[in-house]
Amino acid sequence: MKQFLLYFALFLTTVSASFAQTATPDWTNQYWTARWILHPTAPARQYGIYHFRKAIELPQKPAHFVVHVSADNRYRLFVNGKSVAMGPARSDTQNWNYETLDLAPYLQVGRNVLAAQVWYMGEGAPFAQMSYQLGFLVQGNGETERIANTDASWKIFHNLAYSPIKNDIPKLKTYIVAGDGDRVDAAQYPWGWEQPNFDDKTWVAAKPLGFVTKPRGFGTDGNWGLVPRTIPMMEEGIVRLATVRRSENGKMENSFLQGKSPTTVPANTKAVFLLDQGNLTNAYPELTVSQGKGATVTMGYAEALVDAKNQKGNRNEIEGRTLLGFDDQFIADGASKRTFRPLWFRTYRYLQLTVETKDEALVLEDLVGQFTGYPFEEKAQFATSDTTLKAIWNVGWRTARLCAGETYYDCPYYEQLQYTGDTRIQSMISLYVTGDDRLMRKAIMDYDHSRFNDGLTQSRYPSADFQVIPTFSLFWVCMIHDYWMHRQDDAFVKSMLPGILSVLNWHEQRVAKTGLNGPLEWWNFVDWSKWQNAGDETAGGVPSGARKGGSSILSLQQAYTYFRAGDLLAHYGKNELAEHYRELGRRLNKAVMAQCWDAGRGLVADKPIVPAGKNSFSQHANILAVLTDAVPAAQQAALVQKIMTDGSSDSLTQATFYFKFYLFEALKKTGLGDQFVAQLKPWRDMLAMGLTTFAENPEPTRSDCHAWSASPLYEFLSTTCGIRPGEPGFKSVRIEPFLGDLTTVDGKMPHPAGEIIVQFQKTPTGGLTGNITLPAPLTGTLRWKGKTLPLKAGKQAVSL
């Protein structure tokens, strides 16, 4: 544990309130002396927003003042009026995170006030929010900090100014589970509650909970099993809306958006202002208003506007379009400089202010956003002779950033849920572009914590709504294999082996006598494609043969996973198990080729071939047949070429953005990586449609920001630049660039030992020249059109 805490201290400088150095005593291994506290009379499992305060006296300014903080659902901590931290990092109740903070920079000699806003969303909580009940906790690290411990000496106020705005599915005509919006009545708000000079004499004493506070693995009952946060605090930064696109019954200049000129809405007026950020963002909007007693300001957020048919079209267009989206609302009390900020961040390109005044004019003083996201640093670089690829890189990076916070998100606007199929792709982007593996590691652990009695992982986690996608459990195993290939972390990977075996066993038990998988429970999602002859499947995204058995796609995905699991098991000395699963993979491959190969079309069908019957074909089945070597190696390149050029979507189900990740893997495997750049037309089409992030699906799409569609970032570095691990732990590198029609490519990516830098030029005769720089002690090989060259640490000129 001491080793972990030293690692934990590495990212101290990235947080608002610095993470502490190694904690003594070790609060992960003993009962805590602080108590969880809450309101003495308000319901603990119903919607409510609360404020906590405690004044402490310090005889001198401390060099360090370390505390451990958590809450359910969430908290925002202030010290002497300054916001210093938000948390806890999302998790489940038996792995409940706490933040370790050094408050010394914010403290002074004499009186200091610690204050926290804590909220419990009840039925309106996001699906990603798991919970036990309302509670707040501060544990001082040592004797000096013990005065901060939560107990009955803390005061609490139930803030009735808040009420939820239901952002329901029927209103938005889609699946949205990111939680309710906030309505705040300024007349009931305790303005200045976080400031040291606020008068809190009417506040009541907090109620300590009856049970002892404990870290995970202690005690006789449930509630919260406390564990240290393993990721840094979120990045923050100011973002401003760019343009006033439309005004109704009022006038607003762009200078208002720059914070330079207030806008006044007259009395008894309803004014609507449509504002454009210019690109999608995640931010806490902060609206400051004055006067206008009783005026209501509604803030609506959207990725894009929609027409009368609820279609988005070009994202830059506003004519004949309306904003249909997520709302917050603020009711002014007539005072000056009142600032409204929602409890949770909002995702928007377009923000619409609807102002309804009463007998007094309202002054809009300012509107600014506080960007939030995981603090990824863009360390990779990519440039080519085709300068238009830079836009795909930039938009892809924005997409990846907006889909990463305390967990990975499938999409920031609609769900904010961490799905395994998405996360595998997101993790590879993180490793290649940033070198930061902490969020990937946390995600792997989250899924391990999600396993239930069937032996599978849940499809998304943390999630208060239980959902299972068996194909995603397989991708969790593959994600661990990815981590193993890119990082030397044997203890962590070995700790995942029991979970891996439980997932593999569930699928093995469902292999039928035919040798293909048999009937499968749960939601066997593969891709949001328009599947042929899949009428027996009521859930979307599922090919035929899942519910009743016999799907070649699902059988091949099992084989794909068994081979990777075999590598892991053999590496850790479980050779008999490794060979068992490799043999099972080979048997699945053989069964698929025997029953699903259509010699006439030269394709693998989605189900066993029916003579003169309805046979379905997809890119997916054939991609997996290549990735598993079900198709002989000598035939693989021709098969991949065929599925990219043979037939339309009517005769061959096409992979959408998500599953193109596996198509690109097949291009690399078969030596067809030169065709990767030509496959980017759908991404160019999105840019032409005015998207500033990459969408979940081809048009019409629900989500405009889905990180699985940012996979070209990874491919630019792993395919175009050709950088991939040569062995587990990235102990060596294999570089095999595919330039296609490009004449030059320059790339840089982070490696645990330093930076890998490549600079390549294609010669007129089809050769390759350039320079490669490897960090010591990394070595490897360069491959180009069947030729190889050994690589050493340092900078070296290459020519093949």
Report yes or no on 244 lying in a domain. Answer: yes
The pLDDT assigned to 677 comes to 97
Half-sphere exposure of 365 (CA within 13 A, CB side): 14
Q: How far apart are CA 142 and CA 626, in angstroms?
A: 59
Q: How far apart are CA 338 and CA 288, in angstroms?
A: 5
Three-class SS of 351-407: EEEEEECCCCCEEEEEEEEEEEECCCCCCCEEEECCCCHHHHHHHHHHHHHHCECCC
Where do runs of H (alpha helix) occur along 207-317? 254-257
- What single string gives the DSSP state of each residue in 437-505? -HHHHHHHHHHHHT--TTSPPPSBSS-SS----HHHHHHHHHHHHHHHHH---HHHHHHTHHHHHHHHH
Rounded (5°) CA angle 599-603-607: 95
Q: How far apart are CA 759 and CA 738, in angstroms?
A: 13
120, 48 contact by CB (below 8 A) = yes
- How far from chain centre, in Å, is Cα 307? 29
Which amino acid does the sequence have at 548? K
In total, the chain counts a number of residues equal to 800
Which of 346, 373, 400 is the C-terminal boundary of a domain? 373
The pLDDT assigned to 223 comes to 93
Q: Which residues pair with 329 in a beta bridge?
A: 183, 298
Same domain assignment for residues 213 and 256: no
Range of the domain at 137: 2-161+183-228
Rounded (5°) CA angle 122-128-129: 35
Residues of the chain predicted below pLDDT 70: 1-24, 168, 536-538, 647-650
Same domain assignment for residues 54 and 115: yes
The pLDDT assigned to 471 comes to 98
Please give the helix or strand (H or E) that residue 790 lies within, else none.
Answer: strand 787-791
381, 348 contact by CB (below 8 A) = no
Report yes or no on 327 lying in a domain. Answer: yes
Could you tell me the two tokens for 265? 């809405």
Report yes or no on 444 lying in a domain. Answer: no
Which of 350, 373, 396 is the C-terminal boundary of a domain? 373
φ, ψ at 603 (rounded to 5°): -135, 155
Q: What is the CATH number of the domain that holds 294?
A: 2.60.120.260
Q: How far apart are CA 427 and CA 448, in angstroms?
A: 16
Which of 349, 373, 397 is the C-terminal boundary of a domain? 373
Q: How far apart are CA 228 and CA 89, in angstroms?
A: 10
Same domain assignment for residues 14 and 87: yes
Report yes or no on 448 lying in a domain. Answer: no
- How far from chain centre, in Å, is Cα 685? 24
Three-class SS of 113-143: EEEEEEEECHHHCCCCCCCCCCEEEEEECCC
**CA dist 210 → 45, 68, 229, 306 (Å):** 16, 20, 25, 52
Same domain assignment for residues 153 and 283: no
Report yes or no on 532 lying in a domain. Answer: no
The pLDDT assigned to 467 comes to 97
Same domain assignment for residues 27 and 102: yes
The pLDDT assigned to 647 comes to 57
Rounded (5°) CA angle 771-777-780: 55
Same domain assignment for residues 302 and 239: yes
Nearest to 607 by CA among 619, 592, 627: 592
Q: Could you report the per-residue pLDDT of 85-112, keeping only the tens digit for each?
A: 999 999 999 999 999 999 999 999 999 9
Residue listed under structure tokens 């909002």? 346
Number of domains observed in the structure of the chain: 2
Q: How far apart are CA 701 and CA 644, in angstroms?
A: 23
Report yes or no on 286 lying in a domain. Answer: yes
Nearest to 276 by CA among 307, 312, 302, 249: 302
Could you tell me the two tokens for 658? 């998500």
Rounded (5°) CA angle 310-313-316: 120
669, 661 contact by CB (below 8 A) = no
Report yes or no on 698 lying in a domain. Answer: no
The pLDDT assigned to 550 comes to 95
Same domain assignment for residues 203 and 139: yes
Q: Strand (E) positions, 513-643?
A: 597-598, 603-604
The pLDDT assigned to 537 comes to 67
Report yes or no on 651 lying in a domain. Answer: no
Same domain assignment for residues 222 and 248: no
φ, ψ at 781 (rounded to 5°): -135, 150
**Strand order across the 723-725 sheet:** 723-725, 732-735, 779-784, 787-791
Same domain assignment for residues 350 and 246: yes
Same domain assignment for residues 148 and 275: no
Nearest to 602 by CA among 532, 651, 559: 651
Same domain assignment for residues 97 and 223: yes
The pLDDT assigned to 21 comes to 45
Q: Could you report the per-residue pLDDT of 376-424, keeping only the tens digit for each?
A: 999 999 999 999 999 999 999 999 999 999 999 999 999 999 999 999 9
The pLDDT assigned to 72 comes to 98
Q: How far apart are CA 184 and CA 160, in angstroms?
A: 9
Same domain assignment for residues 138 and 73: yes
